[in-house]
């Protein structure tokens, strides 16, 4: 007998499948034993050589230049990326809804406008943009991957979506997030499990994992995600992308669906996933130049400023958070970057010891669920939705409990005290930036992403942070240290489950962290770092 939640999921999946035209369907799907599927779009026969060139060769900035120079059109770009996204969905389960007809209609209007007036609508004129599903798109569902919200239709675009449209961006694809939007994987009862294009036994990350997988296989050129504990940076790291968590309150979050609206103990942010640093800049500059504070009073009225970098940047290096030691591929990536930066006159490096990162997780995981998770459990119970293992795990952290108002005040006071203490601590090192791992290893195996602290600590401290790709796992180089003695149970888990062959082809990325509301300088510094590499 089919029960309520299964009926809801089946209806939703059927709609998703109906948005992919028959001429975009693969004739054969690679067997599950084929782990790396990044070459399938180029070999499946569905994309023309021109479409392969447009989707594989350029970043968003370059495509914007091609449109400006009349060397391509928005219709051509939208068609190419929709076809590639359809292929990606069949390989990775990374699409909630393909907006092919709507995107073509918008692209056609943009092309006609440019042909008639000779003027571009904005800096993203004609560029296909994908967006995480819980960020509202008018006239479409806004489930946030809760089956109880499957019939919720957005009445308005989220502010960030409206901004992208006004800048000329074309929304062409909506991507999945996990149940509860509180996983570093992407799995839900609504659409199933999303997998990594470089190795389908691994996760693309979460909660913006649909974006990560889609961009990872180059089926999108610019994506909009959100981040409250690593949800942009985890997918970026796992898929070899550039991902950016801005300072809170610099971009509008208005129009993002979730379980708890009005929660301010830990604020989430929206931000970009992209193929280059300059595309992160393009996104941030475009959005902040629109003056989002005029429509959302919570946004701080700080315009996008010109970077003001010191002649020699002092970078603090956190090699390990002293809770979970990074696995060999991450250690190698750290040393690769350190070696390069130390040879450059633009940087001075100094080792920094992490400050109470174990405590940071205890604190932030308590701040996430101030009602002990009741709102989530009520939503699941409403339609009998089963709770996924990673949702159960995050909702049942040791510090999670239901707080009265006095308890909330006490906890927020502890948050602010930790932020102030850490700020002074970093000032004692005199560093401009922090270089650190983006996670304990490359993309985790499915079901195993249970360590957030390499990213979540910067959410707790509210520091902008960016992820950038460095290398890929090499089983010949990333050998397991059999003599290592783990520091604790979490460390033991990541040590014992590490086998370099399991992560073959997986990207390895690192993280650069800046000062609060100093986003411009962080991205400018990241560009200098990447140039040095």
Give the three-state DSSP class for 359.
helix
> 80, 97, 92: which is closest to 24 by C-alpha?
80
Return d(Cα 438, Cα 452) in angstroms, integer: 9
Binding-site residue set: 181, 207, 228-231
Cβ(255)–Cβ(154) under 8 Å? yes
Spot the catalytic one: 83, 132, 254, 504. 132
Return d(Cα 484, Cα 419) in angstroms, integer: 33
Cβ(113)–Cβ(168) under 8 Å? no
Spot the catalytic one: 187, 207, 226, 320. 207
Cβ(441)–Cβ(334) under 8 Å? no
Return d(Cα 462, Cα 464) in angstroms, integer: 7
- CA distance readout (Å), 236 to 72, 136, 188, 266, 292: 28, 22, 20, 21, 25
Instruction: Work out whether strand 433-437 and strand 313-317 pair parallel, antiparallel, or are unpaired.
Output: parallel
Q: For this structure, is 207 an active site residue?
A: yes
Binding-site residue set for substrate: 181, 207, 228-231
The tokens of 504 are what? 């073959």
Residue with tokens 């997998």, as numbered in its chain: 195
> 405, 409, 380: which is closest to 395 by C-alpha?
380
Q: Give 122-154 as a 3 state SS string.
A: CCCCCCEEEEECCECCCCCECCCCCHHHCCCEC
Q: For this structure, is 428 an active site residue?
A: no
Phi, psi angles (nearest 5°) of residue 329: -60, -35
Return d(Cα 241, Cα 198) in angstroms, integer: 12
Sign (positive or negative) of CA dihedral 120, 122, 127, 130 = negative
Continuous H helices in 239-386? 277-289, 328-342, 357-368, 374-382
Q: For this structure, is 187 an active site residue?
A: no
Dihedral, CA atoms, 528, 504, 210, 357, nearest 10 degrees?
Answer: -60
Residue with tokens 């970057």, as numbered in its chain: 337
Sign (positive or negative) of CA dihedral 383, 19, 256, 434 = positive
The tokens of 277 are what? 């640093």
Return d(Cα 134, Cα 252) in angstroms, integer: 14
Spot the catalytic one: 231, 276, 320, 365. 231
Q: Provide the annotated active-site residues.
A: 132, 207, 231
């Amino acid at each position: 007998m089919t029960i309520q939640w299964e009926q809801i999921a089946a209806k939703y999946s059927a709609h998703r499948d109906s948005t992919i035209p028959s001429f975009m369907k693969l004739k054969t799907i690679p067997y599950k034993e084929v782990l790396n599927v990044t070459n399938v779009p180029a070999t499946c026969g569905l994309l023309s050589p021109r479409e392969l060139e447009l989707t594989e060769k350029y970043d968003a900035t370059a495509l914007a230049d091609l449109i400006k120079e009349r060397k391509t059109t928005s219709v051509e770009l939208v068609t190419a990326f929709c076809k590639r996204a359809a292929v990606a969905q069949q390989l990775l389960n990374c699409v909630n809804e393909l907006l092919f007809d709507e995107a073509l209609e918008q692209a056609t209007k943009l092309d006609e406008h440019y042909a008639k007036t000779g003027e571009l609508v904005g800096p993203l004129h004609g560029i296909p943009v994908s967006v995480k599903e819980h960020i509202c798109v008018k006239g479409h569902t806004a489930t946030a991957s809760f089956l109880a919200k499957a019939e919720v239709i957005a009445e308005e675009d989220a502010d960030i979506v409206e901004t992208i449209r006004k800048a000329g961006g074309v929304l062409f694809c909506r991507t999945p997030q996990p149940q509860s939007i509180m996983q570093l994987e992407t799995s839900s009862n609504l659409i199933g499990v999303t997998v990594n294009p470089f190795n389908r036994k691994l996760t693309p990350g979460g909660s913006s994992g649909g974006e990560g997988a889609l961009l990872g296989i180059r089926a999108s050129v610019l994506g909009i995600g959100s981040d409250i504990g690593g949800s942009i940076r985890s997918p970026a790291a796992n898929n070899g992308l550039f991902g950016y968590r801005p300072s809170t309150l610099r971009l509008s979050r208005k129009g993002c669906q979730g379980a708890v609206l009005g929660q301010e103990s830990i604020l989430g942010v929206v931000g970009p996933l992209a193929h280059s640093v300059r595309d992160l800049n393009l996104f941030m500059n475009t959005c902040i130049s629109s003056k989002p504070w005029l429509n959302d009073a919570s946004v701080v009225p700080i315009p996008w400023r010109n970077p003001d970098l010191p002649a020699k940047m002092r970078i603090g290096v956190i090699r390990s958070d002293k809770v979970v030691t990074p696995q060999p591929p991450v250690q190698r990536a750290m040393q690769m970057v350190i070696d390069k930066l130390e040879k450059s006159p633009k940087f001075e490096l100094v080792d920094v010891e992490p400050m109470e990162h174990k405590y940071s997780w205890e604190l932030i995981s308590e701040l996430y669920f101030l009602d002990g998770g009741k709102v989530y459990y009520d939503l699941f119970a409403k339609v009998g939705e089963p709770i996924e293992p990673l949702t159960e795990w995050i909702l049942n952290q040791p510090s999670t409990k239901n707080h009265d108002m006095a308890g909330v005040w006490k906890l927020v006071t502890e948050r602010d005290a930790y932020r102030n203490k850490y700020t002074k601590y970093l000032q004692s090192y005199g560093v401009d930036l922090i270089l650190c791992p983006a996670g304990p290893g490359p993309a985790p195996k499915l079901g195993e992403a249970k360590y957030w602290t390499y990213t979540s600590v910067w959410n707790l401290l509210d520091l902008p942070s960016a992820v950038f790709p460095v290398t890929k796992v090499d089983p010949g180089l990333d050998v397991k240290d059999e003599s290592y003695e783990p520091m604790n149970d979490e460390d033991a888990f990541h040590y014992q489950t590490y086998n370099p062959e399991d992560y073959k082809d997986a990207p390895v990325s690192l993280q650069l962290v800046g000062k609060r509301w100093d986003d411009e300088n962080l991205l400018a510094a990241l560009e200098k770092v990447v140039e040095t590499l």
